[in-house]
Every structure is written in structure tokens, then in C-alpha cells.
Amino acid sequence: MKNLQFFILLAFTLVNASGQNLRVATYNLRYDNPGDSLNAWPHRISCVTNLILLNDFEIFGTQEGLKHQLEDLRKGLAGYDYIGVGRDNGDQKGEHAAIFYKKNKFRLLLSGNFWLAEKTDKPNKGWDAALPRICSWGKFEVIETGKVFYMFNVHFDHRGETARRESARLVVRKITEIAGNTPCILTGDFNFNETHESYTYIKTSGLLRDTYDLAGIRYAPGGTFNEFDITSKPEGRIDHIFITPTFEVIRYGILTNTCQGRYPSDHFPVFVEMNLK
């Protein structure tokens, strides 16, 4: 009888834990630039969509997507929705830092956006940034278990050194203000690698940890920015997934798949499987 009770308890524990399993990713889509020739968006959309479906991303942050690109993705990803606004006008204009999620897995409770700038509540460029930069966030509930977490998604400036440094401080502060003690995931294209001072600031903030360091299984053959060059050997991870301590990381991967002899984007997606404790 005791053995039977033990196995029943074990089965219940495993089922309950599986309901808290999350498959998270970050993916810079590369904006739709006709000058990319055969790497332009119309030639890549099916590859991007199928890569997401193959790896079963349940919730993922995207960067650089224009409104029509996001709508293309939504059409190709049955059962997904997304949140986020264009960085140029707070509506549909310009690149988005959109978050896609499975509607049968997560319930969206709240969402918002802020700009990576001194004035966070309206479209503008911050510090020495070359372009307006935005963070989009959502508060989600895991439908099966009722567990709640926040997800923040960013795209830092590619030129402004001060902008990257101040954006890192701003994001940590905003996460604390918005999410409080609720579990939190931060995804994005940070435009700095693991040797940069701003990476160190986030990692040692006491709030967030890098999933790369925590994974029990890790596949990371190189960097995450490939420039569409399949002969290159990228070094340095500029796309990251950070988490608060309430998550356990199972697997981490930089997905270097090609499609028809080309990369689906000029960045590799970063995928993490984790448990919300």
C-alpha cells in the first residue's frame, strides 16, 4: 500500500511539474529589407515559421519585426498571438519588440511598453542612441497551473555605448518596478556580448541570471549574429535570455539551422526550456 501511495504521489508530482514547463526563445527576425536580395523577408518567412514550429517555441521575444512581418508570422503560427507596438510612434510604425505566445498555454493578464530613453513613456531616442528603442512586456498566467510570470523583451541600440549602458540600468529598474517579486524572463537582442560591462551589470544585478550559465544541457557552438553568412564562425552571444531565480533551466540552445542553404535570419534564435518552480 505504501509503495502504491508513493507511485501515485510521484505521478501527481510529475504531471504537476510538466504543467509548469516553459519553452522560451528570443529571435531577431531581421527587418524586411528588399536590399537583402535572396535573404529578404519574402524568401525567409516559411523558414522562420517552420523553425519556430519545429522547436515548439511556446513564448518568444522577437526583434526588428515590422507590422506586416508580425502579421505574416501570426498567419503561419496557428494558435499564437502577440503583443507589442512600433517603436517609431507607439502604434504600428517602425520595428517592434513583439512577444509571441501560445493562446492555449498562456493567458495574457496585462501588457505595456516603455522606451529605452530618458523619457520612457513616448517614442524618442535616448542618450547617444542612433534610433528609438523600445521594451515590450506582458504579464502571463500559465492556464494549466495558474502560475504567473512577466516577460520583458528588448532591442538595445547598436551604436550608442552610453545608450546600451543606461538601457541596461533602466531595464533592471523597470523590471523591479513593474514585476516586483513575480517571476520574470528578459529576452532580447542586446547588441553586446558576454564580455561587455552592461552584460556584467545585468548578470550581477542580483535580480537576473543568464540561462546560458544555468542550463543542465547546453548547445552553443558559437555566437548568435551570423550576418546571413553561412561560412562565418560567429563569436560572442549578443542575444540573451535572463531569468529571475524562480526558474530552473533544463536546456539551452543556439539554433544554427539552415534552410535551403541559407540562414532564416541574420541572427540565430536562442531557445531555452525551463521550469517555473
Give the chain's mean pLDDT.
94
Element (H or E) spanning 189, and its range? strand 184-189
* pLDDT tens profile 15-61: 344 448 999 999 999 999 999 999 999 999 999 999 999 999 999 99
* pLDDT tens profile 86-106: 999 999 999 999 999 999 999
Where do the domains of the chain lie?
18-276
pLDDT in the model for residue 20: 87
pLDDT in the model for residue 239: 98
pLDDT in the model for residue 106: 98
Residues 238 and 17: beta-carbon distance below 8 Å? no
pLDDT in the model for residue 14: 46
Closest Cα partner for 243 from 97, 121, 61, 118? 61
Low-confidence ranges of the chain (pLDDT < 50): 1-2, 4-19
Q: Which CATH architecture has domain 18-276?
A: 4-Layer Sandwich (3.60)
Closest Cα partner for 169 from 128, 198, 189? 198
